[in-house]
A and B are shown apart, each in its own frame.
Chain A
Amino acid sequence: MSDPKTPKPVSGPNRRAVLAGGTALTASLFMPKELRAQDFPTAEVNTTGLAVTDDTVTVGILHSVTGTMAISETGSVQAEKLAISQINEQGGILGRKIEFIQEDGASDWPTFAEKARKLLVNDKVASVMGCWTSASRKAVLPVFEQHNGFLYYPTFYEGLEQSPNVIYTGQEATQQIIAGLDWVSETKGAKSFYLLGSDYIWPRTSNKIARKHIENFLEGSEVVGEEYYPLGHTQFNSVINKIRLRKPDVIYAIVVGGSNVAFYKQLKAAGIDPAGESPLVLTISVTEDEIRGIGGENIEGTYACMKYFQSLENENNQAFVSAFKEMWGDDIVIGDVTQAAYLGPWLWKAAVEKAGSFDVDKVREASPGIEMTTAPEGYVKIHENHHLWSKTRVGRAQADGQYDVVFETAELVEPDPFPEGYQ
């Protein structure tokens, strides 16, 4: 485990190759060096009729700011706006200021598809930062593939997807699950696991991967229960009794939304305090955002497996957190997905500048191998499969609503959206 206080600026596989090819690129990316628009004539950088003028380029932001998902997606919108304003302060992209058109998906998947079509066909945006749930991503996917748009998708998700028109800035399932299970098995000696989730694709796929890993790769470990509750379920006393009967070492919980609050409050009220670590509670669905609703005192001691925590101690993150608070207020909290959303505009800028063009085909071609040394989570790099190399970390929830980072992988974890042996 490397010291989180002194993150290596460049690490991970292929770093020599990247260094050789990418030094000029990284320099141009993150030093505020002026790229002048007249060096990049609009006719050359935009051959496909995108919304690019001599001094502006338009992108789309497509999230739910109304409806049930607004609770989660608000942070992503804020992060993307912050990144865009910072890029503009540094002179924009190829000398052009970024303007954005924000559309509201309204927590409704057909609306997402309709707004995506509007952004791509009417507004001709050069790229889109957006979507949060897998359902909304699946809804817009055919639109992006038909009209050759380019989407930066921020959420950790179940994997099993790799579109030429999407860059996935969150973790796919194996990146989030395996390192955490290994950690709890090695350092806590956990042998028996109780899998619990809300009843839809992400928790089910994630628990499937978790089960395969526990049964096939962790010596002597077993799954003693697996259970799903409908989205929005608010009564968990029965499952808590079942957990008590099974006496697992670990409750592996992928409960989401309002159910999350109910689950942790009832768990504590039933006398299973996560802080006691018997059983230990490990989750991949509770970020700092969710803790605000649950209440730090109710979830203290729960372990979460993420790639980013607001409390990460490195210079990038300190700068990010203070810029975020300056823009959006002091009492804001930043969760894993919010940070991943922040990466979107920066990765797009890097790809555009590497390609020397806004054309989607050229940006796509330039994307694999793009690295970002200023990411709040540390160094990340785009894989051939359009996902990010990133580290996996485990944090312990504290009463103040922040996570105390107790573990991080030594190396970047390779994204593997179609994991063999896990399906």
Chain B
Amino acid sequence: MFSGYSMGELGAIFAMQGFAGLILFSVFVLMALGLAIIFGQMGVINMAHGEFMILGAYVTYLTSNVFSAYMPELFGIYFFVAMFLAFIASGLLGLLVEWGLIRHLYARPLDTLLATWGLSLILQQTYRSVFGAREVGVTIPNWMMGSLPLTDLIEVPINGIFVMVLATGISLAVYILMFRSSWGLQVRAIGQNRTMADAVGINTAWTDRLTFGIGCGVAGVAGSAFTMIGSTGPTAGQLYIVDTFLVVVFGGAGSLLGTIASAFSISQAQSIMEFFLSGSMAKVLTLLVVVGILMIRPQGLFSLKLRK
């Protein structure tokens, strides 16, 4: 398939394909981090994760409308405000959901699955009633939409760089929160032994609520960022949920490092195969490999060593 192309062209294409893989990696990390916090640390299977992301996307849509109506001169930077608001909105909804729903179901993981799935349907219909069944178009500031031409052939999409920077930043923030803050220490303590954590005076109820809220907030930021590359509609969250679970489960629940490693391997595998095979075939093969590895290593790539 490469006959008739010069070495220069091929080199350029492979460079760009590598970059495409990195963008996909960043997208996966953004999608999965919020879920990894909730699923990994709390054991809650949050089927409404996609809808928390889409809430972030709708907040971005509203923010862009407000800016273009009242502060058109600041439109170029509205996206940062939107991401912050998306974090707040999704986070608050997360706190509310934890208080009203999740906290009653901690001992019953299968019931949380059903409850959050129901929540996802309710949220979808709410978006549909509020924003309409049709997708909304989020206007992205011009400076974020173009590409940087490095050479004649290599062009780097700016939104790709943006997503990469954002993914790195949020990963770092989550890492610091988890491993360098007292809240993170408490979360990890509860994850290891809830009764003991309770006994030493950790407010487990509040820590759980905050963890769930932060996980949802991160999902909201991801949703906000994805308005640059994807659609914003009532059911758009469903497009992300399968990949998200795939990444988290493959990485090993409970391990943030595992999530990142798994996002990297899945995205690279998929992006390389997409180039040589058709898109559908690449997806099938990726899933097959993941299933195969999970059969050999049910705990995922990385897992915490637990005393049984």
Contact = CB atoms under 8 A, between A and B. Distances in A.
Contact of B137 (A244, A258, A262, A292): A292
Given A260-B231, A269-B145, A295-B138, A70 B133 contact: yes
Contact of B134 (A241, A265, A289, A296): A289
A261 B279 contact: no
Interface in B220-261: 226, 228-236, 238-240
A239 interface: yes
A230 B133 CA distance: 22
B229 A269 contact: yes
Interface in B136-184: 136-140, 145-147, 149, 153, 155, 157-160
B145 A65 contact: no
A234 B230 contact: yes
A244 B239 contact: no
A245 B13 contact: yes
A70 B280 contact: no
B198 interface: no
A326 interface: no
A411 interface: no
A242 to B, nearest CB: 7
Contacts of B149: 271
Nearest to B9: A245
B111 interface: no
Interface string A214-244: 0000000000000111101111011111101
B45 to A, nearest CB: 21
Interface stretch (B16-24, B70-78, B93-101): B16-24
A238 B229 contact: no
Name the prevailing secondary structure of the A interface residues.
helix
A199 B283 CA distance: 12
Contacts of A262: 229-231
A230 B23 contact: no
Given A68-B235, A241-B13, A258-B230, A230 B134 contact: no
Given A71-B133, A235-B24, A230 B157 contact: no
A233 B137 contact: no
Contact of B135 (A199, A227, A230, A261): A261
Interface size class of A (residues with CB under 8 A): 35 or more
A190 to B, nearest CB: 20
A234 B239 contact: yes
A56 interface: no
Interface string A21-52: 00000000000000000000000000000000
A65 B133 contact: yes
Nearest to A107: B235
A419 interface: no
A235 B137 contact: no
A293 interface: yes
B133 A269 contact: no
A74 interface: yes
Given A67-B235, A199-B280, A271-B147, A242 B275 contact: yes
Contact of B231 (A239, A240, A269, A293): A293
B145 A232 contact: no
Given A269-B160, A271-B155, A292-B137, A238 B228 contact: no
A278 interface: no
Contacts of B280: 199, 228-230
Nearest to A293: B135
Sorting the interface of chain B by its residue count into under 10, 10 to 19, 20 to 34 or 35 or more gives 35 or more
B48 interface: no
Contacts of B193: none
B128 interface: yes
Interface in B113-146: 125, 128, 132-140, 145-146
A271 B133 contact: no
Interface in A142-171: none
Given A233-B279, A235-B27, A292 B16 contact: no
A293 B139 contact: no
Contacts of A257: 231
Given A235-B24, A271-B146, A241 B155 contact: no
B149 to A, nearest CB: 7
Interface string A54-95: 000000000001111011001000000000000000000000
A291 B17 CA distance: 28
Contacts of A235: 20, 23-24, 27, 229
A311 interface: no
Contacts of B236: 258
Interface string A388-405: 000000000000000000
Most chain B C-beta atoms within 10 Å of own C-beta, residue among A65, A74, A238, A261: A238
A300 to B, nearest CB: 12
B27 A269 contact: no
Interface string B266-308: 0000010011001110110000000000000000000000000
B137 A270 contact: no
Nearest to A269: B157
A170 to B, nearest CB: 19
Nearest to A245: B13
A294 interface: yes
13 contacts: A65-B133, A71-B134, A74-B132, A74-B133, A199-B279, A235-B27, A238-B275, A266-B229, A268-B145, A269-B160, A269-B229, A271-B157, A296-B137
Interface of A: 65-68, 70-71, 74, 199, 227-230, 232-235, 237-242, 244-245, 257-258, 260-262, 265-266, 268-271, 289-298
Given A65-B133, A228-B278, A271-B149, 9 more contacts: A71-B234, A199-B280, A233-B279, A238-B279, A240-B20, A242-B275, A270-B157, A271-B147, A293-B136
